[in-house]
């Protein structure tokens, strides 16, 4: 049967002007949409009574047309997906270039200005001025380092190249380490850390989880005015562990809350408050999801101005 089917298929391709070819119990028919041949349907009629052959052939024709339509839809869907991916890639490239042009050049310009001032006019500066210039160089270099780290982290997330070592770790200890990591950047804000009555453990990569929380806390600090509180809370919730970061910033409109985890997205109402590339929260969410957790955002439950970012993870045994 297979050799005859193959021979019939070869004839079908060699005789495009014929709609349906027959060879004993075998049939072959073109699958076409709008004159374009998408394939060939080959079937065997088997032990079919002579008076039923026309009915079987009509049914086969219908099935062949349905197959052609399905193939055309699949091709159209694939083409659309490819086009959408191209558009998405182009948008990402444009956003990345725009971000790099600003977020790399700004700290570099500040470093160059401060360092050249020290080099050219060091003897004329007071000790206090020299300390301020040196502190500015350090601050901008750290900012540049954070930006490059975020770029590398996003590249690792996009390529699926994260190296993880999962352990049962104390959620409070990781939160405390994240708070300590951003301590120097809190300025005149108060960073308040609170924990549970009993130790809570999660199974995660401690380095990735700490970086994720540090990104969220740093974002909260950036948008909170001086003299306000940024809260980092670790609690037990529904059999799992919840880590919440609450800021005192302007908040995010409800319609935009879901977008703050998109790469390079920054709410129109907050762009003038703090600089940034819009990478911190997307990277944080990617790291949390990589270790089996979830990250969401909401308006502050107490009704005050600000945003609450929630990290939820399953509780693990120590």
What share of the chain has pLDDT > 90, as a percent?
28
Is 66 part of any domain? yes
Q: Note whether 154 and 46 are same-domain residues.
A: no
Same domain, 148 and 178: no
Which pLDDT value is given to residue 8? 54
Classify residue 98: in a domain, yes or no: no
The Cα–Cα gap between 310 and 295 comes to 6
Asked, for residue 87, whether it belongs to a domain, the answer is: no
112 and 144 part of one domain: yes
| Higher per-residue pLDDT: 182 or 280 | 182
Judge if 142 and 254 occupy the same domain.
no
Distance CA 173, CA 22 (A): 76
Count of domains for the chain? 3
Task: Please write the tens of the pLDDT for every residue from 156-205.
Answer: 776 776 778 888 999 999 999 999 988 888 889 999 999 988 899 999 98
Bigger pLDDT: 39 or 305?
305
Q: Which two tokens stand for residue 217?
A: 């806390």
Q: What is the pLDDT of residue 235?
A: 95
> Domain check: are 277 and 172 in the same one?
yes
111 and 230: one domain? no
Higher pLDDT residue, 14 or 153?
Answer: 153
Q: What range does the domain containing 39 cover?
A: 2-78
Q: In which residue are the tokens 């308006």 written?
A: 299
Mean pLDDT of the chain: 81
Pairing of strands 229-237, 190-194: parallel
Instruction: Looking at the structure, tell me whether residues 186 and 149 fall in a common domain.
Output: no
Is the per-residue pLDDT at 246 higher than 70? yes
8-44 pLDDT, tens digit per residue, is 555 555 555 445 666 667 777 777 777 777 777 777 7
* Cα pseudo-dihedral 224, 229, 232, 238, rounded to 10: -100
Backbone angles phi, psi at 208, to 5 degrees: -65, -45
Has residue 119 been placed in a domain?
yes
Asked whether residue 173 falls in the same domain as residue 302, the answer is yes
Residue 141 has pLDDT above 70, yes or no: yes
Q: Are residues 61 and 202 in the same domain?
A: no
Q: Which of 253, 251, 234, 247 is nearest to 313 (CA)?
A: 234
As a whole number, mean pLDDT of residues 218-233 equals: 93
pLDDT of residue 233: 96
What pLDDT sits at residue 18? 44
Tell me: pLDDT of 312 over 70: yes
- Give first-to-last CA distance, the chain, whole Å: 64
Task: Evaluate whether residue 295 is within a structural domain.
Answer: yes
Report the range of poorest mean pLDDT among 135-139, 158-162, 228-232: 158-162
The Cα–Cα gap between 155 and 200 comes to: 32
Average of pLDDT values for 203-214? 90
Query: Which single residue is written with the structure tokens 């408050």?
Result: 273
Q: How do beta strands 20-23 and 36-44 pair? A: unpaired
**Domain annotation covers residue 253:** yes
Q: Is residue 153 domain-shared with residue 171, that is, in the same domain?
A: no
At residue 23, the pLDDT reads 64
Q: Is residue 83 part of a domain?
A: no
Looking at the structure, tell me whether residues 171 and 304 fall in a common domain. yes
Final residue belonging to a domain, choices 78, 113, 136: 78
Of the candidates 174, 158, 252, 165, which has an alpha carbon nearest to the alpha carbon of residue 214? Answer: 174
- Find out whether 233 and 194 touch, Cβ atoms under 8 Å: yes
CA distances from 235 to 21, 245, 247, 313 (A): 72, 12, 17, 11
User: Do 55 and 119 belong to one domain?
Assistant: no
Query: What radius of gyration do the chain's Cα atoms show?
Result: 31
Q: Which residue has the higher pLDDT, 164 or 306?
A: 306
pTM assigned to the model: 0.61
What percent of the chain lies above the pLDDT cut of 70?
80
Q: Please list the alpha-helical segments (H only) found in 160-293.
A: 171-181, 206-223, 280-290
DSSP label at 24?
Answer: T
Which CATH number does the domain housing residue 260 bear?
3.30.565.10
* Per-residue pLDDT reduced to its tens digit, 60-115: 778 888 888 888 888 888 888 777 666 655 655 665 565 566 567 778 888 999 99
């Amino acid at each position: 049967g297979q050799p005859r089917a193959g021979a019939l298929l070869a004839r079908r391709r060699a005789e495009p002007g014929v709609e349906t070819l027959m060879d004993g119990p075998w049939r072959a028919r073109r699958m076409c949409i709008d004159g374009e041949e998408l394939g060939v349907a080959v079937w065997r009629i088997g032990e079919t009574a002579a008076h039923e052959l026309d009915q079987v052939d009509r049914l086969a024709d219908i099935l062949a047309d349905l197959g052609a339509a399905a193939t055309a839809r699949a091709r159209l869907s694939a083409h659309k997906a490819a086009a959408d991916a191209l558009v998405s890639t182009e948008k990402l490239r444009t956003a990345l270039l725009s971000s790099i042009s600003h977020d790399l050049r700004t700290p570099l310009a500040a470093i160059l200005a401060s360092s050249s001032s020290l080099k050219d006019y060091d003897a004329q500066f007071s000790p206090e001025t020299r300390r301020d210039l040196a502190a500015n160089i350090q601050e901008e270099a750290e900012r540049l380092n954070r930006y490059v780290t975020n770029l590398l982290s996003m590249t690792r997330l996009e390529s699926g190249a994260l190296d993880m070592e999962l352990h049962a770790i104390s959620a409070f200890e990781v939160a405390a380490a994240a708070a300590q990591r951003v301590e120097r950047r809190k300025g005149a804000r108060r960073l308040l850390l609170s924990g549970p009555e009993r130790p809570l453990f999660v199974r995660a990569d401690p380095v990735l989880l700490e970086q994720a929380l540090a990104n969220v806390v740093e974002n909260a600090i950036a948008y909170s005015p001086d003299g306000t509180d940024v809260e980092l809370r670790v609690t037990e919730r529904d059999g799992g562990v919840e880590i919440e970061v609450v800021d005192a910033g302007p908040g995010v409109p409800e319609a935009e809350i879901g977008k703050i985890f998109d790469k390079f997205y920054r709410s129109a109402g907050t762009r003038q408050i703090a600089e940034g590339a819009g990478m911190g929260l997307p990277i944080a969410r990617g790291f949390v999801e990589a270790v089996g957790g979830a990250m969401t955002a909401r308006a502050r439950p107490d009704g005050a101005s600000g945003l609450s970012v929630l990290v939820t993870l399953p509780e693990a045994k120590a």
